[in-house]
Amino acid sequence: MKITKKTKMSDLIEKYPKSAEILFKAGLSCVGCPMVMQETIEDGCLGHGFTEKDIEKLIKKLNEKK
């Protein structure tokens, strides 16, 4: 599965559990958030003040580490 900014957080964490650590280190504590079932990576990042460039860097890192 290719990870994109439209990937749902819940799908990402279910398929790649180690991605939770990457998200946490980036400032996203998604695992414990009730919105994890509905939000995309982009939604979560924008809600935490990420820029588009920040989101692109995170997506690249997630795809490299999966």
Residue with tokens 């996203």: 28
Interatomic CA distance for residues 65 and 47, integer angstroms: 23
Q: What is the CB-side half-sphere exposure of residue 30 using CA atoms within 13 A?
A: 32
Which pLDDT score, from 0 to 100, does residue 35 have? 79
* DSSP code of residue 40: B
In this predicted structure, the answer to whether residue 10 has a pLDDT above a threshold of 80 is yes
Confidence bin at 66 (pLDDT 50/70/90): confident
Under the banding of pLDDT at 50, 70 and 90, the label for residue 33 is confident
**CA trace torsion 50, 19, 30, 52 (10° rounding):** 10
When pLDDT is averaged across residues 18-38 and rounded to a whole number, the result is 86
